[in-house]
């Protein structure tokens, strides 16, 4: 089964850019069978899907963050990444990467990484 | 956007008893409904997809049902490891959305 691991800074200053990477193991990000998503969870709150990328670079974003979000894929490193610009305290959350098939239920998740937006 | 509303917010049930969790969608759809279990400090785990299909390795005490806008997750005989937060998720339409969760606690 595919395994995922998030990495990136745990602290970002307001107005700056939040950057995270998800490293995929146990399968190829370029297999063509999978879609790669980012999902976040503010402390004590529910889950918000924020966007996904396919191996060819095709993306879908949640309108709630679309103007600030870029998700990209690096097939040579078996990784995909998230960049969220102009962050505020409202972007503080645990960020998960996850994988789905063409039916978008999430079969595997990373363990999650906490990102705090604070000066 | 399809809004998913779960009820109750908290459900108190004794071990060995049945738990019934509800999820209502703001518009009707078929098949594209999943349930997840999340324990503190962990990622969610897929339990059910396609309304009623158990994911790999999920015990048969977990079952899903429903149609249209009303969906249910039933846990037939609660075990100690089942006390957690449960989320429903629709994947019928963009953006993908989750319910706010039901916390299942020990009575």
* CB spacing of B87 vs A103 below 8 angstroms: no
Q: Name, in order, each residue with C-beta under 8 angstroms of A13's C-beta and a sequence gap of 6 or more.
A: A117, A118, A119
* CB spacing of A109 vs B55 below 8 angstroms: no
How far A53 CA sits from the closest chain B CA (Å)?
13
Mutate to test the interface with A, among B31, B39, B43, B99 (most CBs of A within 10 A): B43
Q: Name, in order, each residue with C-beta under 8 angstroms of A104's C-beta and a sequence gap of 6 or more.
A: A35, A37, A52, B32, B91, B96
* pLDDT by 10s per residue, chain B, length 107: 999 999 999 999 999 999 999 999 999 998 999 999 999 999 999 999 999 999 999 999 999 999 999 999 999 999 999 999 999 999 999 999 999 999 999 99
User: What is the model's pLDDT at position A33?
Assistant: 82
């Amino acid at each position: 089964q595919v395994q995922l691991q998030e990495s990136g800074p745990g602290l970002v200053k307001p107005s700056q850019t939040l950057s995270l990477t998800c490293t995929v193991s146990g399968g190829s990000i370029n297999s063509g069978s999978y879609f790669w998503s980012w999902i976040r969870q503010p402390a004590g709150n529910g889950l918000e899907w924020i966007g996904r990328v396919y191996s060819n670079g095709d993306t879908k974003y949640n309108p709630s963050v679309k103007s600030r979000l870029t998700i990209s894929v690096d097939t040579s490193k078996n990784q995909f990444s998230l960049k969220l610009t102009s962050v505020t305290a409202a972007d503080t959350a645990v960020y998960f990467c996850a994988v789905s098939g063409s039916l978008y239920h999430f079969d595997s998740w990373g363990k999650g990484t906490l990102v705090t937006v604070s000066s | 956007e399809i809004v998913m509303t779960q009820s109750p917010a908290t459900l108190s049930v004794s071990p060995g008893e049945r738990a019934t969790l509800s999820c209502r969608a703001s518009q009707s759809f078929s098949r594209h409904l999943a349930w997840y279990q999340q324990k503190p400090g962990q990622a969610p785990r897929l339990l059910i997809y396609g309304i009623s299909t158990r994911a790999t390795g999920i015990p048969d005490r977990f079952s899903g049902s429903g149609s249209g806008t009303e969906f249910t997750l039933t846990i037939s005989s609660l075990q100690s490891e089942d006390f957690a937060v449960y989320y429903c998720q629709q994947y019928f339409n963009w953006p993908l959305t989750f319910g706010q969760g039901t916390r299942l606690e020990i009575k």
